[in-house]
Amino acid sequence: MTPSQERIIPTELRNEMSQCYLEYAMSVIVGRALPDARDGLKPVHRRILYAMYELGLTADRPFRKCARVVGEVLGKYHPHGDTAVYDALVRMAQLFSMRDPLINGHGNFGSIDNDPPAAMRYTECRLQALSTDALLQDIESDTVDFIDNFDGSQQEPMVLPSRIPQLLLNGSSGIAVGMATNIPPHNLGELVDGAIALIQNPDLTTAELMQYIPGPDFPTGGQILGRSGIKAAYEEGRGSITMRGVAEIETLSQPGRQDKEAIIVTELPYQSNKAAIIEKIAELVNDKKLEGISDIRDESDRTGMRIVIELRKDAYPRVVLNNLYKQTPLQMNFGANMLALVNGEPQHLNLKKFLEVFVEFRVETITRRTTYLLRKAQERDHILQGLLIALQDIEAVIRIIRSAADTPTAKANLTEHFGLSEAQTDAILQMQLRRLTALEAEKIQAEHEDLLAKITDYQDILARRERIEEIIQTELTQIKEKYATPRRTIIESAEGEIVDLDLIANEQAIILLTEQGYIKRMPVDTFGSQNRATRGKSAAKMKEDDGVEHFISCCDHDHLLFFSDRGVVYALNAYQIPIGSRTSRGTPLLQMLPISQAEKITTVLSVREFTEEDYLIMLTKQGNIKKTSLSAFSNIRSNGLIAISLAEEDQLRWVRLAKESDSIIIGSRLGMAIHFRASHEQLRPLGRATRGVKAMKLKPNDELISMDILPAQVIAEMKEEATEEDASIEEPTQEETLWILAITKGGYGKRVPITQFRLQKRAGKGLSAMKFRKQDCLAALKVVHADEELMLVTNRGIIIRQGTDAIPRQSRQATGVRVQRLDQDDAIAAVALVPPAEEEETGEDE
What residues are annotated to the active site? 122
Distances (CA, A) of 407 to 385, 395, 430, 433: 21, 18, 11, 17
DSSP secondary structure letter of residue 115: P
Closest-CA residue to 380 (of 307, 447, 438): 447
Assign 146 to helix, strand or coil: strand
Distance between CA atoms of residues 772 and 778, nearest Å = 8
Distance between CA atoms of residues 371 and 365, nearest Å = 10
Cross-strand partners of 105 = 125
Residue 562: other Cβ atoms inside 10 A: 24
Residue 341 contacts residue 330 (beta carbons within 8 Å): no
Distance between CA atoms of residues 660 and 630, nearest Å = 12
Residue 422 contacts residue 411 (beta carbons within 8 Å): yes
If you write DSSP's letter for every residue of 674-720 in order, what string do you get?
EEEE-STTTS-B--TT---EE--PPPTT--EEEEEEE-HHHHTTSPB
Angle, helices 422-430 vs 407-418, to 10°: value is 120
Distance between CA atoms of residues 216 and 354, nearest Å = 14
Distances (CA, A) of 186 to 127, 166, 725: 21, 9, 77
Distance between CA atoms of residues 793 and 832, nearest Å = 9
DSSP secondary structure letter of residue 436: G
To 5 degrees, how large is the angle CA 842–CA 844–CA 846? Answer: 175
Residue 808 contacts residue 817 (beta carbons within 8 Å): yes
Cross-strand partners of 537 = 799
Q: Please, what's the b/e burial string for 496-521 (b: 16 or more CB within 10 A of its CB; e: otherwise)?
A: eeeeeeeeeeeebbbbbbbbbbbbbb
Angle, helices 465-483 vs 188-200, to 10°: value is 160
